[in-house]
Structures are given as C-alpha cells and as structure tokens.
Amino acid sequence: MIQITKICCIGAGYVGGPTMAMIAKKCPHIKVTVVDLNEQRIAAWNDPDVENIPVYEPGLSDVVAEARGRNLFFSTDVESAIDDAQMIFISVNTPTKTYGAGKGQAADLKWIELCARQIARVAKDNKIIVEKSTLPVRTASAIKDILIHTGNGSQFQILSNPEFLAEGTAVEDLDAPDRVLIGGDSTVEGQAAIQALVDVYANWIPRERILTTNVWSSELSKLTANAFLAQRVSSINSLTELCEKTEADINEVAKAIGTDSRIGPKFLKASVGFGGSCFQKDILNLVYIARSYGLQEVADYWEQVIIMNDHQKKRFANQMIKELYNTVNGKKISFLGWAFKKDTNDTRESAAIYVADHLLHEQANIAVYDPKVSADQIYFDLDYLATRSSEENKKGVKIISDPYEACKGAHAIAVLTEWDEFKTYDWKKIYDSMLKPAKIFDGRNLLNADELRSIGFLVQTIGTKA
C-alpha cells in the first residue's frame, strides 16, 4: 500500500491552484507543493493579502488562507518539488495548436512533454504521475514513453484524473463533486497507484463517488462530458434564432423541455455563446481524433457544436450592427462583462472577445466594464487574435472601472457576462446618461426586459422577439 504524504503539482493555474488548495485543506497530513515557471503567478499565490491570489473564485481565498504555509506551498523551484514528491500532478496548459499539423484543432502538447522530460531528468525514485490537464486520448502513453525511455530506471505509474470543476463554482465542485474519475493500468502496480489516489480523495469524498476506469476511458470521458455539455448549450442557442423570428420565447421553451426528467433543467440557458478553456478545445480535440481515425461523420457531428457557437457570436454582433442602423462607425458601445461566465476572472474563449473583434472591424468605439477582469487581460485577449495592431486595439477599446461611466454617452449596451451585480444597477440613471434611442442587447438573458422597456430602453434579449 502506498501512503501519500507528499504531492507536487506542476502548473498553478485555474485547475492546479484551486484543486491543490482543496486537497491541502482536506488532507492536513499531506504536504502539497504547487510549482509554476511563471514567477509573477507564484508571487501572487504567495501574496500576504490572500485576496490578491491570481485566480478569482468565490470561497477560494478562505481555502488558501487556511492551508497556505501549513501544508500548502507555492514555489518556482520545479525540480526540488518533483524530487521531493511521491505523486506529481500535471496541470499545465494544453492550448489548441496555432501552427503546423492539427493547427486550430489538436492540443499542443509541448508543455506536457516538457514536464515529462523534466520529471524524467529529476526523479530519483518511483513516482505516480497524474494527468490533470485536459488531454487528448492517448496522451498518457506519450508521457509514459518519455518517462520510461529517458528516465534513470525509476518506475512511473501514469494515472488520468480529469478535472470536472467549473470555474466560478470551483470550490463547491471540489468540495462535493458529482464524481471523481481515476484511470490507470490494470497491472498490480497500476492498481496500487489508483488506490493511492483514491485514498487521497477519500479523505473527504464518499468512496462510491470515486470511479476507477482504464486510462483511455478516463481521458475520453473528460472530452465527452464537455462535448455533451457544450452540445446542450449549442442546441438551446440554435433555437434562439428561431424564437426571435416567431412568438416563441426561449426561456419558456427551456423551462418546458427542462421539466422532462430525461432532459433535465441544467445547461439550457441561452447565451451569446459558450466560452471557457475547455468546451471548444475539448470538442476540437474530439473532432481531430475522430478525423485522424477516418471517422468523418463522427467528426462532422461534433464539429457542428462549434459551428453553431461561432454562428451565435457572429449573429449577436451582426444583430447589434443592424439595429444600430447598419453602422457602428465611431459609435460608443458599452460592454458589460468580459469574462466567459460570472464569478471568474478567466476570459479564455469568452464570447465578448469575438463580439468586440467583429464590432471593431466596423470601427466601433468600445467601452468595457468587468468587475474582475483586468485591463491588461482585455488588451491581451484582443491582441492575441492578431486581427489588428495593439495600438488599434488600444484606440478602439477603453477599459473603464465604473459601470455608469462605461455606459455614459453610449449608443448601446451589450451584456456579455451574467454577473449578478448588473441586475442591481440604477438603470434609470444609466438610461438618462445615454444617447437616444438607448438600446440594450442582452446576450445573457439576464436583465428584466419589461422593466427596462418601461424606463424607455429598446431591448433585444437573446431568444425573444424584440
């Protein structure tokens, strides 16, 4: 039996940080060290003021405050942490490739491979390696190859333990997950490694919620879970367009179908499109894998979920342009929200980025307010698209830290993230400060359209006839 007392996690991002903080909180007997190459990020995790940690998640700062310095440590010394640990989680980023074969679809495993090589170089004894990042099926075998062939004779067991936490609810999801999935080899050593990780989670999670499978099932389950969730969002979003043409109301449709217990009420919220680091990337991965096995119909089937999502973002932006008399040139458009969903400062693949890009093509002036996203991040996201120069992005987009200021003098407001605080604003005051006719495009179905109309706004809510 392997008793784990020392864990290391490579990657202190949205997955590694919260997950390790929770393990440390729940397992005071385990020393958990989170390492990252990014010095700034580690410094932020170590900031004496726990409110300054780099990942915003409700409740996370309390978890970190409890465990940090006791059995939770953040460091840039990757090698010592690897050397010291019995179990190493790999939680590094695996973005979609932006070059070469599989460009735009396959996951870039550069960082994963670097990690594997580093572990192989540094490890002096046997280690259990846990894949935490979302990885395409069969990554474990690549990691294994590197470890076995470049290592110094140490034994490695590779486990797949995909993350199912959703950002914005990470602490809740980690505290009481629907399930924990652990995939490993069927050999005696593989089963012992699985058991060691099961024992870690069993410190707070009922054993019947800890599922064990082979490595490939575990890896594929992660992609599939996200593909199914994203498919629900694209399915409901596909109907918004139909609802906007007819008298049907998407909220009523969602409620009506969601009460069928076979369908269920969750993930039926119409929106300007899903974002986040997982959905698009995981589906693209699924599509890429299917195509690489020659399974065209399977690939096309899942690709449609992405096509629908891209259509929704573009459609939203085009609708704004149309309603603003087919020109937004020089007009001030205010964005409420930039994050890909509420309660997170993560902006990866956020619909706001694409809506902004589209409006900038039409020479709009955009003013952005988001309660948690920094100005640097917003410019980074726009520059990352590489559709125009950094100077042009700075010229076209202003980041404003007060929502009333952001909306003042605007022709229109676009609601792009479902932050709760937007519902509490003094909308009369906002209306009075805007150019008339004052228009609101609610891409999140968040605000009370009737109330806004009674103030004088012209409102277009996604999925209802204007």
C-alpha 112/C-alpha 26 separation (Å) is: 27
Strands 156-160 and 72-75: unpaired
The verdict on 462 binding ligand UDX (CB under 6 A) reads no
Nearer to ligand ADP, 78 or 130 (CB): 78
C-alpha 129/C-alpha 293 separation (Å) is: 28
115 included as an active-site residue? no
The verdict on 279 binding ligand UDX (CB under 6 A) reads yes
Distance in Å, CB of 133 to ligand ADP, minimum? 5
C-alpha 206/C-alpha 183 separation (Å) is: 18
How many chain residues interact with ligand UDX (CB under 6 A)?
Answer: 19
CB of 219 within 8 A of CB of 139? yes
**Measured between alpha carbons, how far is residue 362 from residues 97, 323, 330, 394, 449 in Å?**
29, 14, 9, 15, 27
C-alpha 400/C-alpha 371 separation (Å) is: 10
- Give the one entry of ligand ADP, ligand UDX, none that residue 11 binds, where binding means its C-beta sits below a cut-off of 5 to 8 angstroms depending on kind: ligand ADP
- Give the one entry of ligand UDX, ligand ADP, none that residue 379 binds, where binding means its C-beta sits below a cut-off of 5 to 8 angstroms depending on kind: none
Partner residues linked to 96 by β-bridges: 107
The verdict on 91 binding ligand ADP (CB under 6 A) reads yes
163 included as an active-site residue? yes
For ligand ADP, the nearest residue by Cβ is: 13
CA angle 107, 309, 451 (to 5 degrees): 135
Q: Of the candidates 44, 114, 166, 248, which one interacts with ligand UDX according to CB under 6 A? A: 166
- Give the one entry of ligand ADP, ligand UDX, none that residue 203 binds, where binding means its C-beta sits below a cut-off of 5 to 8 angstroms depending on kind: none
Map residues 234-263 to x or -, x wherever contact with ligand ADP holds by CB under 6 A. ------------------------------
Q: Of the candidates 36, 57, 131, 167, which one interacts with ligand UDX according to CB under 6 A? A: 167
Neighbours of 208 (CB within 10 A): 7
Q: Which residues contact 40 (CB under 8 A, 6 or more apart)?
A: none
The verdict on 301 binding ligand UDX (CB under 6 A) reads no
278 included as an active-site residue? yes
Nearer to ligand ADP, 55 or 205 (CB): 55
- Give the one entry of ligand ADP, ligand UDX, none that residue 133 binds, where binding means its C-beta sits below a cut-off of 5 to 8 angstroms depending on kind: ligand ADP
Of residues 278, 303, 341, 342, which has the active-site annotation? 278
Using DSSP, state whether 77 is helix, strand or coil: coil
Q: Which residues contact 51 (CB under 8 A, 6 or more apart)?
A: 61
Map residues 274-293 to x or -, x wherever contact with ligand ADP holds by CB under 6 A. ---x----------------
Using DSSP, state whether 411 is helix, strand or coil: coil
Partner residues linked to 73 by β-bridges: 33
Of residues 163, 244, 303, 349, which has the active-site annotation? 163
DSSP, residue by residue, 215-229: HHHHHHHHHHHHHHH
In 264-320, DSSP assigns E strands to none
Map residues 248-267 to x or -, x wherever contact with ligand UDX holds by CB under 6 A. -------------------x
Partner residues linked to 365 by β-bridges: 332
The verdict on 162 binding ligand ADP (CB under 6 A) reads no
- Give the one entry of ligand UDX, ligand ADP, none that residue 268 binds, where binding means its C-beta sits below a cut-off of 5 to 8 angstroms depending on kind: ligand UDX
CA angle 362, 366, 368 (to 5 degrees): 150
- Give the one entry of ligand ADP, ligand UDX, none that residue 151 binds, where binding means its C-beta sits below a cut-off of 5 to 8 angstroms depending on kind: none
24 conformational bin, left if phi > 0, alpha if psi -120 to 50, beta if neither: alpha
- Give the one entry of ligand UDX, ligand ADP, none that residue 271 binds, where binding means its C-beta sits below a cut-off of 5 to 8 angstroms depending on kind: ligand UDX
For ligand UDX, the nearest residue by Cβ is: 276
Burial letters for 155-169: b for 16+ Cβ neighbours within 10 Å, e otherwise? ebbbbbbbbbbebbb
Q: Per CB under 6 A, which region of 34-42, 215-223, 232-240, 279-287 contacts ligand ADP? A: 34-42
Q: Which residues contact 126 (CB under 8 A, 6 or more apart)?
A: 154, 155, 156, 157
Neighbours of 386 (CB within 10 A): 9
Nearer to ligand UDX, 156 or 419 (CB): 419
Nearer to ligand UDX, 229 or 373 (CB): 229
- Give the one entry of ligand ADP, ligand UDX, none that residue 267 binds, where binding means its C-beta sits below a cut-off of 5 to 8 angstroms depending on kind: ligand UDX
Q: Of the candidates 22, 107, 109, 115, which one interacts with ligand ADP according to CB under 6 A? A: 115
Residues that bind ligand UDX (CB under 6 A): 163-167, 226, 229, 233, 267-269, 271, 274-276, 278-279, 340-341
Give the catalytic positions in this structure: 163, 222, 278
